[in-house]
Amino acid sequence: MPKRTASLSRLIPHPSSLIPLLFLLLTACEGTAVQVIPTNRPTITPTFTETPTRTPGFNSTPTFVPTRTPASIAGGPTPTSIFGATSTPAGELPTPTRVRNPNAPRIEFFTADTLAAAPGSPVNLYWSTRGTSGAVIYRLDDSGQRNQLWNVAPDGSLTVATRRSDRGEVRFVLSVGDGELRVEEELIIPLSCPDPWFFLPAPPTCPNGPGQATSLIEEQFERGRMLYVENNDRVYALFNDGRTPAWIGFDNRYNPAVHPESELSFAPPPPLVQPLRILGFVWRGNDVVRNRLGLGLQPEFAYEGFIQTATSPDGADSLYISSADGTVLLLLPGGDGWQIITPP
């Protein structure tokens, strides 16, 4: 048995010896085939490509964020109220245009024959109306009240006399129609100033009359002055202590046949003096005047001068008095104050 096994192994060729033979057979079968010479596999050199930066939101699904519309002055979307439509304020509602009644009375014109009148001179009024059978003209007083009236024709003229004491302006009202159809128009006529002031600079108001010449007595005191005006027979105490009233007026009640000129038992320290006669009688008999003025700085001084008055729109009179030093003293109504007007 061992010998047979050995002889079979010599008859079967080794597999490695068959490879050349198979190669030759394949070559003979395909004589036209190109011989392929195996080469080494190329070495792959890795190339690093820059990865693009991710753009925010490029690959993601965009999320819609609602934008709130800002309110603007000119308007914009108005949110709908959950309680329903809002009401429009009454002030924003359009004002309806009132249709004019063609038959309603109307005033064509209401005028005068002068742009300014002198106090005391007559004024001629002219007017024309339509849609009415008559008219009424009222005259207004200084407070605007209707104190005179004239029933007149729809068209015409009227002469009205002014007073010498009128100042500033005269005012009239023309009225036609009744109730809701009443139509009125006011006419204002300025009044010129007939009298000059006795001093300069002249006040902006018009005096009630010309300056009145009068005798005056004036005396300076520690805290003010006193004056006597013969024209109206009054004594004025003017205080400069800053208290109210700023001045007080008194009727002159001094009688030289009855009242002494001074208080003999009183001797003021020099150089101060005691006021005498008319001024002294008020000074001695009124504690307020005596305490607020103090003693006289010098004896009284008598001179000739002027006084003049002017009425304010509220009906109160201001008094202007010549002073001994050449200035003018203005006494405001009601004792509210007094001023010194210095001439230029």
Q: 194 or 219: which carries more pLDDT confidence?
A: 219
User: What pLDDT, on the 0 to 100 scale, is given for residue 3?
Assistant: 44
The pLDDT of residue 66 is above 90: no
CB 317 within 8 A of CB 334: no
pLDDT band at 5 (very low <50, low <70, confident <90, very high): very low
Total domains, the chain: 2
The pLDDT of residue 93 is above 70: no
Helix segments in 146-293, DSSP class H: 277-285, 287-293
The helix (H) or strand (E) run that includes residue 302 is strand 301-311
Q: Are 224 and 315 in the same domain? A: yes
Q: 59 or 225: which carries more pLDDT confidence?
A: 225
User: What pLDDT, on the 0 to 100 scale, is given for residue 82?
Assistant: 53
Q: Is the peptide bond before 190 cis (omega within 30 degrees of 0)?
A: no
Could you give the CA distance from residue 111 to residue 187 in angstroms, rounded to a whole number? 7
Could you give the CA distance from residue 307 to residue 187 in angstroms, rounded to a whole number? 34
Could you give the CA distance from residue 140 to residue 120 in angstroms, rounded to a whole number? 16
In-domain check, residue 170: yes
User: What pLDDT, on the 0 to 100 scale, is given for residue 204?
Assistant: 87
In-domain check, residue 73: no
The pLDDT of residue 341 is above 80: yes
Could you give the CA distance from residue 189 to residue 177 in angstroms, rounded to a whole number? 24
Q: Are 177 and 217 in the same domain? A: no
In-domain check, residue 94: no
**Mean pLDDT in residue range 161-177:** 91
Q: In which domain, by residue range, is 140 found? A: 106-190
Could you give the CA distance from residue 213 to residue 208 in angstroms, rounded to a whole number? 15
User: What pLDDT, on the 0 to 100 scale, is given for residue 9?
Assistant: 47
CATH of the domain at 127: 2.60.40.1930
pTM of the prediction? 0.60
Tens-place pLDDT, residues 102-126: 778 999 999 999 999 999 999 999 9
Decide: residue 114, CB within 10 A, 0-12 exposed, 13-18 middle, 19+ buried.
middle
In-domain check, residue 111: yes
Q: Are 176 and 274 in the same domain? A: no
Could you give the CA distance from residue 250 to residue 286 in angstroms, rounded to a whole number? 10
The pLDDT of residue 52 is above 90: no
CA angle 299, 302, 308 (to 5 degrees): 125
Tens-place pLDDT, residues 6-21: 444 444 455 555 555 5
Tens-place pLDDT, residues 288-318: 999 999 999 999 999 999 999 998 877 789 9
> Secondary structure of the chain: what % helix, strand, coil (to 5)?
15, 30, 55
Which of 190, 220, 241 lies at the terminal end of a domain, its last residue? 190
Q: 100 or 4: which carries more pLDDT confidence?
A: 100
HSE (CB half, 13 Å, CA atoms) of 156?
A: 13
